[in-house]
């Protein structure tokens, strides 16, 4: 780089990229070797090697940090063509490691990469006024210090395992020579990164140990064989590849650095990102860069609340809805109805990944609008969006796992939108073979129920994966009578066989009832709310289908343990006055059902059979004494249901009763005195 040999620089960087293309943890083998060595030292010697925390891993870290600094300086010198793309790819590999992010989060570095990504036209000011010759001389000095420091560390370790260490050091040093020639050092260009003075190598070592190591991640499926092959793009294709690589660098840096997130906001890069997305959406065939534009927008809106607000205020919902419509390539039949049929092709892999990113961004922007009353314009926009979300639910993707992921993000977004705008899901006319209830098309609801069943069957990450669909179905059932009728027919069919507990079995109802006693409060409340709404929020019917033991949690939360009144409904609920008709099988065994377990129990012998009245009274007194003893020792807390249907300590209820009696007595005394005066 110092000599301006661009061909040589490109060759070395390509070798680096090829070697570390799949690397997400640079020093895994070295860490394992060091851990093994330290364990051996602990077993066989009384060594102080635990105090030596700065070893070869830190030397490699310094090389990578310096390589990042030099690359950023090198790219600001006005590189063109293929060398820029190769340098950006190297920078992307380096940005996977959190410990190397220091030189990448300065204003100059972010603006440099953002300009290459097309997010800004501002020129990055070079923070370092050091001339190129002095800059590279400083690098050489820094690397020399690193090597001297490492040699001292190796000598100390050599006292423990001299023979093994003597074999490993030369090979590592040979690798380091080539790294030094291409990689570089860098405290140096970045005065803003390390401060106004040039820190020592030891200071850099100590500072780096407080960083959390980057764990190995899942490879992006979008990376194909072209990742390992040499690039041959020229012209516009080469520019597209350059922007894509720059976007990847920004995604890594923003994801791994809070400082970069703040800088992204202060440098107003969101405006450029919105403009890029609007431009790519208007194109007939979106470029491969659009996915990474969407990924970067998702990350920044997920991590920075003020940027979510900015995107919403600048028409982000409208822009993203247009992008979604473009990805789905829909044909409109009516205002809120898209053409869907058996011959509709599946969503391609590339399109499905872009759609998923759009749905995630829309959720970030709209999640707070669920309980808000939208304006007329917003309501029309949301209904247009819901019509597109219906397509996301009904269409398949090329891969089945993509279909499930797409439906999951669609459910998340539907649960975030205003409830009154979801009626678009039901306004589609009936077609031959459509699911229907009272003349209303239930194809979309049927898909949601099937999606819920798959999530319940998997049992994996139940809170993250099942609660959104449970909440969506609960709100939909409360607001739409036909939806509730249809879902109740599938989840809560009329009771016939009550020989098993309600939670036993593999039906959807059994799985939901099991979740009502889940350890996670959110999960059990979501499952209980859905069944409660399907029972029209009728306490007796709820207990009938679930058993009092399973229902007690929700009833206690809502103050319904006393079962007061036939029903306590939500103000948003649309429930008819029809009664729940029992089947003939249920009526025959109704009197023998245990209301706590919800099933027919075998007849048990009477434990007081053969006892006299005096013996029964004595047994009752003994039980009362035992309860008092447990209560006095704070082993149990006797509870009762108060007038509002909530559980309260028995002692607290007594105190309240005594207080009420005193108040009523004082009122009576006052009224008596007034009558006597009169």
Find tokens 């959406």 and name the residue.
Answer: 281
Is residue 208 pLDDT above 90, yes or no?
no
- Residue 32, pLDDT score: 62
492-517 as b/e: b if 16+ CB within 10 A: beebeebeebbbeeeebbbbbbbbbe
- List, for residues 309-337, the tens digit of each pLDDT value: 999 999 999 999 999 999 998 888 888 88
Cα distance between residue 193 and residue 658, in whole Å = 71
Of residues 447, 429, 529, 527, the one with CA closest to residue 483? 447
pTM: 0.77
Highest mean pLDDT, choosing among 27-31, 475-479, 629-633: 475-479
Mean pLDDT of the chain: 79
pLDDT digits (tens, 9 = 90+) for 275-309: 999 998 888 777 889 999 999 999 999 999 999 99
Domain edges within the chain: 1-36+56-118, 268-424, 426-566+581-602
| Cα–Cα dist 533/516, whole Å | 14
Q: How confident is the model at residue 201 (pLDDT cuts 50, 70, 90)?
A: very low
Out of 131-145, 436-450, 532-546, which region has the weakest mean confidence (pLDDT)? 131-145
Residue 393 predicted with pLDDT over 90:
yes
3-class DSSP state of 444: helix
**pLDDT computed for residue 648 by the predictor:** 81
Phi, psi at 640, each rounded to 5°: -135, 165
Whether 374 contacts 382, CB under 8 Å: yes
pLDDT value for 605: 83
Residue 33 CB neighbours (<10 A): 14
**In the structure encoding, which two tokens stand for residue 432, read together?**
């031959």
Residue 433's pLDDT band, with cuts at 50, 70 and 90, is confident
Of the listed ranges 233-242, 461-470, 657-666, the least confidently predicted one is 657-666
Tell me the pLDDT tens digit for each residue of 537-550: 999 999 999 999 99
pLDDT tens string 488-535: 999 999 998 888 999 999 999 999 999 999 999 999 999 999 999 999
Are 256 and 101 contacting, i.e. CB atoms less than 8 angstroms apart?
Answer: yes
Please check whether residue 69 is in contact with residue 100, taking contact to mean a CB–CB distance below 8 angstroms: no
Q: What pLDDT, in 10s, does the model give residues 561-609?
A: 876 544 455 656 667 665 567 888 888 888 888 889 998 888 778 888 8
Closest CA to 121 of 271, 291, 292, 279: 271
Query: How much is the pLDDT for 395?
Result: 93
What is the tens place of the pLDDT at every residue in 211-228?
A: 333 344 445 555 544 444
Q: Phi, psi (5° rounding) for residue 117?
A: -85, -10
With cut-offs at 50, 70 and 90, classify the pLDDT of residue 110.
very high
pLDDT in tens, 153-166: 555 555 544 444 44
For residue 488, the model assigns a pLDDT of 95
Q: Would you list the DSSP string of 382-429?
A: HHHHHHHHHHHHHS-BSSHHHHHHHHHHHHHHHHHS-GGGGGGGG-SP
């Amino acid at each position: 780089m110092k000599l301006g040999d661009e061909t040589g620089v490109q060759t070395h960087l390509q070798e680096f990229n090829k070697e570390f293309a799949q690397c997400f943890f640079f020093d895994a083998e070295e860490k394992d070797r060091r851990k093994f060595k330290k364990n051996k030292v602990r077993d066989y010697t009384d060594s102080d090697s635990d105090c030596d925390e700065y070893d070869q891993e830190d030397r490699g870290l310094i090389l990578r940090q310096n390589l990042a600094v030099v690359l950023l300086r090198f790219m600001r010198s006005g590189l063109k063509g293929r060398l820029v793309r190769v340098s950006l790819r190297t920078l992307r590999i380096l940005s996977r490691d959190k410990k190397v992010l220091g030189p990448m989060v300065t204003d100059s570095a972010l603006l440099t990469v953002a300009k290459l990504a097309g997010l800004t036209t501002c020129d990055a000011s070079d923070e370092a006024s050091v001339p190129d010759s002095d800059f590279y001389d400083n690098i050489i000095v820094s690397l020399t210090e690193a090597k001297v420091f490492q040699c001292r560390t190796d000598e100390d370790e050599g006292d423990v395992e001299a023979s093994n260490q003597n074999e490993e050091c030369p090979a590592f040093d040979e690798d380091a020579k080539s790294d030094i020639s291409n990689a570089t050092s860098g405290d140096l260009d970045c005065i803003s990164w390390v401060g106004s003075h040039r820190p020592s190598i030891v200071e850099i070592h100590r500072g780096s140990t407080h960083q959390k190591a980057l764990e190995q991640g899942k490879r992006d499926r979008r990376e194909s064989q072209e990742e390992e092959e040499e690039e041959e793009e020229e012209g516009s294709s080469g520019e597209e590849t350059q922007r894509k690589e720059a976007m990847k660098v920004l995604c890594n840096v923003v994801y791994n650095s809070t400082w970069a997130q703040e800088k992204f906001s202060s440098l107003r890069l969101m405006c450029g990102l919105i403009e890029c997305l609007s431009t790519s959406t208007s194109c007939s065939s979106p470029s491969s860069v659009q996915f990474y534009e969407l990924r970067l927008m998702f990350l920044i809106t997920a991590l920075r609340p003020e940027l979510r607000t900015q995107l919403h205020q600048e028409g982000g919902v409208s822009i993203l809805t247009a992008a979604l419509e473009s990805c789905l390539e829909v044909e409109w039949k009516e205002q809120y109805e898209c053409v869907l049929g058996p011959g509709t092709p599946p969503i391609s892999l590339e399109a499905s990944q872009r759609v998923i990113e759009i749905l995630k961004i829309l959720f970030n922007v709209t999640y707070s609008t669920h309980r808000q009353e939208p304006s007329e314009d917003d309501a029309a926009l949301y209904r247009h969006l819901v019509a597109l979300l219906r397509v996301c639910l009904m269409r398949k993707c090329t891969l089945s796992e993509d279909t499930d992921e797409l439906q999951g993000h669609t459910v998340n977004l539907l649960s975030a939108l205003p409830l009154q705008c979801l009626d678009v899901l039901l306004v589609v006319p009936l077609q031959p073979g459509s699911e229907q209830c009272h003349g209303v098309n239930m194809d979309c609801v049927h898909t949601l129920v099937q999606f819920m069943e798959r999530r319940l069957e998997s049992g994996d990450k139940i809170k993250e994966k099942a609660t959104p669909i449970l909440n969506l179905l609960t709100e939909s059932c409360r607001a739409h009578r036909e939806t509730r009728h249809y879902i109740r027919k599938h989840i809560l069919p009329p009771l016939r066989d009550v020989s098993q507990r309600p939670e036993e079995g593999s039906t959807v109802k059994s799985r939901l009832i099991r979740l009502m006693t889940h350890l996670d409060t959110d999960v059990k409340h979501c499952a209980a709310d859905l069944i409660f709404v399907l029972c029209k929020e009728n306490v007796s019917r709820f207990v009938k289908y679930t058993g009092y033991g399973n229902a007690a949690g929700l009833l206690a939360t809502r103050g319904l343990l006393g079962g007061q009144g036939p029903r306590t409904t939500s103000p948003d609920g649309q429930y008819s006055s029809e009664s729940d008709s029992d089947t003939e099988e249920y009526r025959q065994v109704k009197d023998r059902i245990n209301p706590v377990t919800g099933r027919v129990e075998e007849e048990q012998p009477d434990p007081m059979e053969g006892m006299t009245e005096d013996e029964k009274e004595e047994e009752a007194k003994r039980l009362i004494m035992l309860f008092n003893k447990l209560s006095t020792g704070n082993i149990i807390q006797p509870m009762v249901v108060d007038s509002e249907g909530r559980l309260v300590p028995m002692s607290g209820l007594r105190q309240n009763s005594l207080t009420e009696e005193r108040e009523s007595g004082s009122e009576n005394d006052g009224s008596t005195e007034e009558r006597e005066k009169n």
